[in-house]
Structure 1
Amino acid sequence: MAGRRTLLLIDADEPSRDFVRRALARLGFAVTIAQNGGEALGQFAPRLFELVITDLHLPDMSGLEVLRQIKQLSPETPVVVLASNSEVKDVVQALRLGASDYLLKPLENVGALDHAICRITHADTLAQQNVEYREELERRNRELREHVEVLQRDQQAGRLLQQHLLPRTPYRYPGNIEAAFRLFPSLYLSGDFVDYGLFGERFVAFYLVDVSGHGVSSALVTALIKHSIMHLLRERPLFSQLDTLDQDLLDVLSMINRELLSTRLDKHASMFVGAVDCRARKLHYAVAGQVPMPVIVTAAGAEWLPGKGRPLGLFEQGDWQVLCASLPENWRLVACSDGVLELIEGADLLEREDKLLQAIDRSGGDLDSLCTALHVGSFEALPDDITLLTLRQGEATETDRSS
C-alpha cells in the first residue's frame, strides 16, 4: 500500500521471523524478508527502508558485518539487532557500531518489540523534523540576510540621495555671510534637514527642520518639505522684498503645516526658519516648536533668541510669530536639533539647555569647535539625529582664534 512504512527484516529463524513480521505488520510496516546477510545487502539501498532489524547470528556472515556495511551505506538508517543471552559481547559491539537498540531472543513479548520500534521510529521522526527545522531555519536566515542586504543597499542609496539634497557646507554669500552645518543621522537616513540660499543680493534665507521619528519615513518627509518649499518658490518669489519678508516666513510654515496634516503620516516637525537682511543687518525669523531655541553670539556673549510657536503637523493654526533682531558687525547664529540635548548630561531639560548655551558661548559659535566640545563625532550609536546649523558674518571672534 502506498505510503506504508518500510522495514527490512534479516533473520534465518522462521518462527522468530514470522513473530516479528506479524508484530510489525500490526504497527503498519511493509516488511521485506531476507534470510541471510548477502541477500539483505543485495536488497538494501539508502532511504529505501525506514528501519532494519537483523539477527546477529546469520548463516553466511556475522550480523555485525551486516550492521557495519549498512551503516557505511546509510549512517542515518536505524538498525535493531536480535541476539541471544550468550551474545552480550556482540550486542555491546553492535551498539558501538551504531545500532539503535537490541532485542533478546527468543522473542515472546510483543509489547517489548512495539516499545523498541516505536521509540526508535519516534526518535527518527524527531531527528528528521530537527533536520527539516534546521533546513527551514537556514533557508529563512538566507532570505533574511538577502532582505537585509537589499534594505541596506536601499538605505545607502537613500542616504546618498538625501545628502545630495543638502546644501554645500560651508558656503559663503555676498556680504561676507557664511552658512555651514553638520548633520549626524542616528540611522542611515535622517529626520533632520537644513537648507539655505541667497535671494536677490540682500537676503540669505535658511531653515532647520526636525521631523519626528527616525529612518526612512522621517527622511521622506524631509524630502517632501524641501520639494514643497521649492514648489512655493516656483509659484511666487519669496524673500525678495522687505515689506513681504515676514509674510514669506509665515507662508513657509503654514504651507509645511498643511502638507504634514494632509499626508496623514502621523508625523510632526519642529522648525526654525529665517532670513538675514544683509543691507539692514537684521535677522527676521520664526520658530515652530523649536527646542532648543536658536542662539545668537556677539562680542557680549551667547544668548537665546526669543520666540514661540506650535510644532508643524499637529494643529490647524500654529500661532507663529515673526521676530526681528538687529545684528552687530560681527555675529554668529547657532541652531541645533533637539538630538544635541541627548549628548549633554543634566537633571532636566533646563540644565541641559544651560550647558549647551555655555558650550556655544565658549566656542564663540564656531561650528567645528562646538562639535568638538559636544563630542558629537565620537559616538558610535547616536540616540537621535543631530544637526547643527551656523550662520556668521564678520571676522572671527577672539574665541575662534584661540580655539
Structure 2
Amino acid sequence: MNTISDPRSAPLAATAAGGHTLLLSDPDQPSYELMCATLKRLGYTVTREESGVDAIGHFSPDKYDLVITDLHLPDMGGLEVLRKIKRLSADTPVVVLACDSEVNDVVQALRLGASDYLLKPLTDEGVIEHAVTRIAEARELAAQNRDYRHQLEERNRELHEHIELLQRDHEAGRQLQQHLLPRTPYHYPAGIEAAFRLLPSLYLSGDFVDYGLFGERFIAFYLVDVSGHGVSSALVTALIKHSIMHLLRERSLFSQLDTIDQDITSVLEMINRELIAAGLDKHASMFVGVVDSRARQLHYAVAGQVPMPALVTSDGARWLSGKGRPLGLFQRGEWEVRHCCLPASWRLVACSDGVLELLAGDLLQKEESLLQMIDRTRGDLDSLCAALKVDTADSFPDDITILTLRQDNP
C-alpha cells in the first residue's frame, strides 16, 4: 500500500486523514497527479493500491469514504471493482474514470450504483472538485437523514410508549369513574326506579349522575355536565362527587321535608364555591332534585341546564320550568327551587346537552325533536336510547348522559 507521497506507485489508491478517506485508481500519470493535487487541496489523504485485487482486499467501509476507480486496471475491469465494492458496502460512493469512447461502460457503471463519472484526460480541477464535493455533500446529507430517521424512530417509540401509558391511565380513570357511578337500574321503595345511560365522547366523561335514598321517603338525585371533555372534566366530576359526599357527612341533608328546598340550594352553592375557588376554568350545568315518595311531589332546581328535564305523564311529555345560572361562573347563581306534583304514574327524563348534538336543526328544533322522542317512548330509557341510536353509534361529539326516574301505578 502506497500513500500520496509516492506518485510513482501503481494504479489504485486509498485512506485519509481528518475523517476524509479516498480510494483512487488511475494508471494515467498526468490525470493522477491532477487528481491527487485537487484531493489534497480539498483535505483528502489518498492512498493507492497496486491492483484491483489488493484494493478490494484492503477495502473496508469504516476506512474509506469514497472509491475512485479507472475502468481499466492491470488485473481486472473497473466494473468488477465497482461490483465488489458495492457488495461489501452498498453505501460507499464510487466514481469511475473513463474515456469518451467508453460511454456504454459508463452507463453500465451508473446502473451498478456508481455515484458519478469523470472523463479522461482530466485537465480541469473544477470538474474533479465539483464531483467529489457533490458526493461528500450528498453523503453528509444522507448521514444527517439517517440520524434524523433514527431520532424520529426513537421519538415515535417513546411517543408510542407514552400513548400506551396514557391509554392505561385513561382506562384506569374510566374504571374508577364507572366505580363512582350508582347502580343502574336501581329500585327504591314505593316502586320508584332510577336508571341512567352515560356514554363518554373520550375515555373519560365530563358528565356524572348519582342518586340515593334518604330516610324512608326522599330520593335525591342529580345530573351534572362539566364543560369540556376528557381527563380535566372527569376530575371535576370526581371533585363534585367528593364535595357532595363531604357535605352529606357534615349535614343531615334531604331528611326533613321543611329543609328540602334549602338542602338543594346548599348543594348548588357549595359546588359553585368549589369550582370558583379551584380556578380550573371549568363550569358546569346541573339538575338536582328530590322526589318525596309519600307526598308524591318533586322538588328540583336547575343551574344552566340545557335541555330542561322532561316530565312524562298520561297527558304526554312536557318540559319542566325553572332557571338558574351555571355553576362556577358567578358568585350568585340566582337558583330557585320549584315543586311539581306527581301523579300515580310518571317518568322523569334529564339529558346532558350532548344529546342535542345527535339531532338536526337549531336549538329550538332539537329540543322539540327530543321532547317528541321522549313522548313517543313514554320516557323509557332503553326505548329513548334506541330512538337516539346512542347504543349503535361508534363515537360522539360530546358526552351523552340520560337520567330517568319512574314510578308506575301498581
Query: Which one of the candidate residues 33, 38, 51 is aligned to 2:66?
Result: 51
**Per the alignment, do residues 89 and 357 of structure 1 end up closer, same or farther by CA in structure 2, a change over 3 Å counting?**
closer
Shift of 1:338: 0.7
Secondary structure of 1:293's aligned partner: coil
> 1:11-26 alignment to 2 at 5 Å?
11-26=26-41
> How many pairs were matched up?
395
Mapped pair 1:360 → 2:378: no
Shift of 1:241: 0.7
Mapped pair 1:105 → 2:117: no
**Per the alignment, do residues 111 and 193 of structure 1 end up closer, same or farther by CA in structure 2, a change over 3 Å counting?**
same
Query: Which one of the candidate residues 75, 78, 87 is aligned to 1:60?
Result: 75
| Partners of 1:230 and 1:256 in 2: CA distance | 11
Instruction: Indicate the residue corresponding to 1:387 in structure 2.
Output: 401
Instruction: Indicate the residue corresponding to 2:363 in structure 1.
Output: 349
| Partners of 2:151 and 2:74 in 1: CA distance | 45
TM-score, L = length of structure 1: 0.95
Mapped pair 1:320 → 2:335: yes
Instruction: Indicate the residue corresponding to 1:238 in structure 2.
Output: 253
**What amino acid does structure 2 have at the position aligned with 1:256?**
I
Query: Which one of the candidate residues 103, 124, 132 is aligned to 2:147?
Result: 132
**Equivalent residues of 1:274, 1:283 under 8 A apart:** yes
Query: Which one of the candidate residues 169, 172, 176 is aligned to 1:154?
Result: 169
Shift of 1:118: 1.7
| Partners of 1:358 and 1:201 in 2: CA distance | 34
**Per the alignment, do residues 182 and 215 of structure 1 end up closer, same or farther by CA in structure 2, a change over 3 Å counting?**
same
Shift of 1:369: 0.9
**Equivalent residues of 1:12, 1:35 under 8 A apart:** no
| Partners of 2:389 and 2:150 in 1: CA distance | 47
Any unmatched runs of 5+ in structure 2? 1-15
Query: Which one of the candidate residues 374, 380, 385 is aligned to 2:388?
Result: 374
Instruction: Indicate the residue corresponding to 1:400 in structure 2.
Output: none
Shift of 1:2: 6.0
Mapped pair 1:182 → 2:197: yes
Instruction: Indicate the residue corresponding to 1:219 in structure 2.
Output: 234
**Per the alignment, do residues 279 and 96 of structure 1 end up closer, same or farther by CA in structure 2, a change over 3 Å counting?**
same
Secondary structure of 1:18's aligned partner: helix
Query: Which one of the candidate residues 320, 341, 352 is aligned to 1:337?
Result: 352
Shift of 1:43: 2.3
**Structure 1 stretch displaced more, 39-48 or 158-167:** 39-48
Mapped pair 1:76 → 2:91: yes
Shift of 1:128: 2.4
Instruction: Indicate the residue corresponding to 1:399 in structure 2.
Output: none
| Partners of 2:186 and 2:45 in 1: CA distance | 85
**Per the alignment, do residues 247 and 320 of structure 1 end up closer, same or farther by CA in structure 2, a change over 3 Å counting?**
same
Query: Which one of the candidate residues 200, 217, 220 is aligned to 1:205?
Result: 220
CA offsets, 1:326-380, max 9 Å, x none? 111111111110111111112x211211111111111111111111111222221
Shift of 1:164: 0.6
Shift of 1:26: 1.0
**What amino acid does structure 1 have at the position aligned with 2:280?**
L
Secondary structure of 1:392's aligned partner: strand
> 1:162-181 alignment to 2 at 5 Å?
162-181=177-196
**Equivalent residues of 1:11, 1:35 under 8 A apart:** no
| Partners of 2:242 and 2:18 in 1: CA distance | 65
Instruction: Indicate the residue corresponding to 1:290 in structure 2.
Output: 305
C-alpha RMSD over aligned residues: 1.5
**Structure 1 stretch displaced more, 114-123 or 86-95:** 86-95
**What amino acid does structure 1 have at the position aligned with 2:408?**
G
| Partners of 1:16 and 1:40 in 2: CA distance | 19
CA offsets, 1:302-326, max 9 Å, x none? 1111110000000001011111111
CA offsets, 1:201-244, max 9 Å, x none? 01000000000000000000000000000001111111011111
**Equivalent residues of 1:11, 1:36 under 8 A apart:** no
| Partners of 1:300 and 1:383 in 2: CA distance | 34
**What amino acid does structure 2 have at the position aligned with 1:114?**
E
**Structure 1 stretch displaced more, 313-322 or 152-161:** 152-161
**What amino acid does structure 1 have at the position aligned with 2:334?**
D
Secondary structure of 1:270's aligned partner: strand
Instruction: Indicate the residue corresponding to 1:401 in structure 2.
Output: none
**Structure 1 stretch displaced more, 259-268 or 23-32:** 23-32
| Partners of 2:27 and 2:45 in 1: CA distance | 19
**Equivalent residues of 2:303, 2:324 under 8 A apart:** yes
Shift of 1:137: 2.1
Instruction: Indicate the residue corresponding to 2:279 in structure 1.
Output: 264
**What amino acid does structure 1 have at the position aligned with 2:402?**
L
Instruction: Indicate the residue corresponding to 1:29 in structure 2.
Output: 44
Shift of 1:291: 0.5
Secondary structure of 2:190's aligned partner: coil
**Equivalent residues of 2:17, 2:45 under 8 A apart:** no
| Partners of 1:320 and 1:228 in 2: CA distance | 19
**Equivalent residues of 1:191, 1:211 under 8 A apart:** yes
**Equivalent residues of 2:307, 2:352 under 8 A apart:** yes
CA offsets, 1:97-148, max 9 Å, x none? 2211111112111111111112222222222222223222222222222111
| Partners of 1:354 and 1:85 in 2: CA distance | 87
| Partners of 1:86 and 1:255 in 2: CA distance | 95
**Structure 1 stretch displaced more, 130-139 or 367-376:** 130-139
